[in-house]
Amino acid sequence: MAQEAIVQSAVPTRHVPMAARKAKQQRWIGRTILYLVAIAASLLFMLPFAWTVFSSLKTPSELYVFPPTWLPNTPQFGNYAEVFTVAPFGRWLWNSVIVAGISTFGAVFSAAITGYSFARFRYPGRNFLFLITLSTMMLPAEVTLIPLYLLFNKIGWLDSYKPLIVPAFFGGGAFLIFMMRQFFMTIPMDLDEAARIDGASYMRIFMQIILPLSLPALATAAIITFIGDWNSFLFPYIILNTKEKFTIGIGIKYFQSVASNIDSMEPRENLLMAASLMMTAPIILLFFVAQRYFVRGIVMSGIKG
Amino acid sequence: MAVRTITPKPGFNMRKREAFAGYLFLLPWLIGLTCFVLGPMIASGYFSFTKYDVVNAPEFTGLKNFQDIFTKDRLFWPSLMLTFRYAIIVVPLSLIGSLLAAMLLNQALKGTAIFRTFFFMPHLTPIAASAVLWAWLFNPDVGPINYFIRNNLGIADAPGWFRDPQWAMSGLIIMAMWGAIGGNTMLIFLAGLQGVPQELYEAASIDGAGPWAKFRNVTIPLLTPTIFFNMVLGIIGALQVFTAAFVATAGGPAYATWFYSLHIYTRAFKYFEMGYASALAWIFFFILFVFTFIQFRASRRWVYYAGEGNE
């Protein structure tokens, strides 16, 4: 932002000689083109949303009128309420909040503990274990999906939330561990040493020095993990069977099949669009609230990776 | 008493304590790594040599699964090729698109934050939701896209998109572009662009370099690590494409979007051929590994690290 201000104030405005004026004119044209491109691109990105919002407010008969219209005659806000009666949509939202919330907490906390170990302690095999950790990032989910399913089948965890929650408490995955470690390494070691001399235990240093200083990194990790959990599809899809237990991602898939071939012949795309918007809204809201942390996390992963 | 902690002899003890504490903090992850990553990997490696239908115990069949995959599976090669075709189109397009978008956002335009948010919102949309949404946009009869094609472009014979084997893949690619161009890749590029020292541009200007020369000889070389990072992640992600196709087209029509991960999924969780599907998964892992390895090897030729040896 600061850079922006400098660039703008650096443009002189008075007593411009001819050549400079021409250059300024060219610059102005260039800028205008850039704005037009940016606006056009924004429209391209946003139009699908607009169409979805308008579709979600239409009556069933309006959905299939030809030629198609943008705006509904009278916005049917009731469609949003109807989603909750056609399918257990409220349950699904709530399930997702609980599952994503608990597993985010588990993943971030345990990734922090693991990152603390990798960043702050010297012990034989540390670098090797860290390398193994990093290399698991390359592992495609397809390889572990089948044995995990079989494992959870064997111990009777299928169709419960345990497979979605419990593993998160054991390290939270390589990416989060890496992120935490990188962040902890930027915290000066002197703080730990001073606390050690004062007789603080390692756990106390972690809880009272490292964690409080890492709030931005923790927030970033939490947001990225929560969004990932909210959006996750394949794993919950193979684990959960009972309709009432669905998380929102698989709920949408279920709703899609209901919307296209339910006993009534009435098109239901308006409800489907309302449902998918309601699935997206919490994520976008979260993004607006915590944009700063979010962007930083993405950038951190890209630059240091 | 304080002096004691500095003397060397108890220091040895302290090192032991430190190592012990380090392992202790690592313990949850070691358990997780064993139970949820390495253990399952070994199990899946074993299953790939067996016939296993979940109900009966796995039965060792040697290399039969692999033989069947390469000789009898009529969907193996097509799904693999389809997945590659998808990646070959999606990865370069999204890299170029994101780089252009990032450069646009790096021009210090007023309202950059708003533009960035607009660009980024598709990426935030859960893939299941965006698949549902695009299936509706691509509706051949009443969708806005075909209406635009018919009325504004004057093409009467508009594509059937997800209902047409010829066009389903293009539909998925457009959908992927929508979510990818303004997404994480763009943000990473943006950070990379902001990391290019201004002096280099100034020096290039003094040497008489125009915008293109600056882009070609300053921006691109300094951005190669970022391009490489985005490329590796992009390829891994594109080859694993699942949810979009599963929700939007279910692999159809006529297997036109039957990606490799859909093939694995179907064999494992529709037919419960866990051994066979594990073999498929391991072949996939091997391909990804080789691919990534080649990229890292090739990267030495074209990726330029300005701060080499800084860390």
One-letter amino acid for residue B309 of the chain: G
What are the domain boundaries of chain A? 80-304
pLDDT at A140: 86
Beta bridge partners of B50: B60
CA distance B51 to B64: 9
A184: nearest Cα among A113, A100, A253:
A113
Q: Is the minimum CB–CB distance between B285 and chain A shorter than 8 Å? A: yes
Substitution target in B29, B249, B274 with the highest count of A β-carbons within 10 Å is B29
- Residue A89 tokens read as 């949509």
Residues B218 and B152 in one domain: yes
Residues B176 and B262 in one domain: yes
Average pLDDT, integer, range A102-108: 96
Taking CA–CA distances from A44, the nearest residue in chain B reads: B178
Q: Provide the 8-state DSSP code for A140.
A: -
CA distance A142 to B41: 10
For residue A209, pLDDT beyond 80: yes
Task: Say if CB B166 and CB B239 are below 8 A apart.
Answer: no
Q: Judge: A149–B18 Cβ closer than 8 Å, yes or no.
A: no
Taking CA–CA distances from A123, the nearest residue in chain B reads: B19
Residues B32 and B160 in one domain: no
A301: nearest Cα among B93, B112, B121, B187:
B187
CA distance A188 to A68: 62
pLDDT tens profile A242-290: 999 999 999 999 888 876 655 556 678 888 999 999 999 999 998 888 8
Substitution target in B47, B136, B147 with the highest count of A β-carbons within 10 Å is B136
Q: Judge: B18–A126 Cβ closer than 8 Å, yes or no.
A: no
What average pLDDT values come out for chain B (311 residues) when binned by 10 residues?
48 80 94 94 94 90 93 93 95 95 90 90 92 91 88 85 92 94 89 87 88 89 89 90 91 91 94 94 93 89 68 38
Q: Is the minimum CB–CB distance between A128 and chain B shorter than 8 Å? A: no
The sign of the torsion formed by the CA atoms of A144, A178, A237, B186 equals negative
| Backbone φ and ψ of B56, nearest 5° | -95, 160
Task: Say if CB B208 and CB B284 are below 8 A apart.
Answer: no
Among A38, A124, A279, whose Cβ lies nearest the Cβ of B129? A279
CA distance A175 to A107: 11
pLDDT at A273: 92
CA distance B18 to B116: 46
For tokens 């670098």, the residue is A127
pTM to 2 decimals?
0.86
Residues B119 and B243 in one domain: yes
Enclosing domain of residue B137: 71-302
Chain A nearest CA to B166, separation (Å): 23
Substitution target in A122, A165, A170 with the highest count of B β-carbons within 10 Å is A170
Q: Is the minimum CB–CB distance between A86 and chain B shorter than 8 Å? A: no
- Residue B143 tokens read as 């969708």
CA distance A82 to A275: 10
Task: Say if CB B188 and CB B226 are below 8 A apart.
Answer: yes
Residues B217 and B278 in one domain: yes
pLDDT band at A60 (very low <50, low <70, confident <90, very high): confident
Stretch (H or E) spanning A225: helix A215-231
Residues B163 and B274 in one domain: yes
Domain-located, residue B270: yes
For residue A196, pLDDT beyond 80: yes
Contact list, B13 vs chain A (CB under 8 Å): none
Residues B161 and B38 in one domain: no
| CATH code of the domain covering residue B82 | 1.10.3720.10
CA distance A245 to A111: 27
For residue A207, pLDDT beyond 90: yes
pLDDT band at A107 (very low <50, low <70, confident <90, very high): very high
Instruction: Give me the architecture of the A80-304 domain, per CATH.
Output: Orthogonal Bundle (1.10)
| Contacts across the A-B interface (CB distance below 8 Å) | 272
Interface subset of B 56-95, CB within 8 angstroms of A: none
Residues B39 and B149 in one domain: no
Q: Is the minimum CB–CB distance between A122 and chain B shorter than 8 Å? A: yes
Q: Is the minimum CB–CB distance between B112 and chain A shorter than 8 Å? A: yes
Domain-located, residue B99: yes
Interface subset of A 189-208, CB within 8 angstroms of B: 196-197, 202, 206
Domain-located, residue B272: yes
For residue A186, pLDDT beyond 60: yes
Q: Is the minimum CB–CB distance between B282 and chain A shorter than 8 Å? A: yes
Task: Say if CB B33 and CB A131 are below 8 A apart.
Answer: no
Chain A nearest CA to B239, separation (Å): 10
- Domains in chain B, number: 2
Chain B nearest CA to A210, separation (Å): 14
Average pLDDT, integer, range A132-136: 91
> In chain A, what percentage of residues exceed pLDDT 90?
49
Contact list, A137 vs chain B (CB under 8 Å): none
pLDDT at A2: 42
Q: What's the CA angle centered on A181, arms A180 and A187, to 5 degrees? A: 95
Domain-located, residue B310: no
Residues B41 and B113 in one domain: no
Q: SS3 for chain B, per residue?
A: CHHHHCCHHHHHHHHHHHHHHHHHHHHHHHHHHHHHHHHHHHHHHHHCCEECCCCCCCEECCCHHHHHHHHCCCCHHHHHHHHHHHHHHHHHHHHHHHHHHHHHHCCCCCCHHHHHHHHHHHHHCCHHHHHHHHHHHCCCCCCHHHHHHHHCCCCCCCCCHHHCCCCHHHHHHHHHHHHHCCCHHHHHHHHHHHCCCHHHHHHHHHCCCCHHHHHHHHHHHHHHHHHHHHHHHHHHHHHCCCHHHHHHCCCCCCCCCCCHHHHHHHHHHHCCCHHHHHHHHHHHHHHHHHHHHHHHHHHHHHCCCCCCCCC
> Among A71-75, A115-119, B5-9, which is the least confidently predicted range?
B5-9
Residues B21 and B88 in one domain: no
Q: Is the minimum CB–CB distance between A69 and chain B shorter than 8 Å? A: no
CA distance A149 to A152: 5
Domain-located, residue B309: no
Q: Is the minimum CB–CB distance between A46 and chain B shorter than 8 Å? A: yes
Q: Is the minimum CB–CB distance between A118 and chain B shorter than 8 Å? A: yes
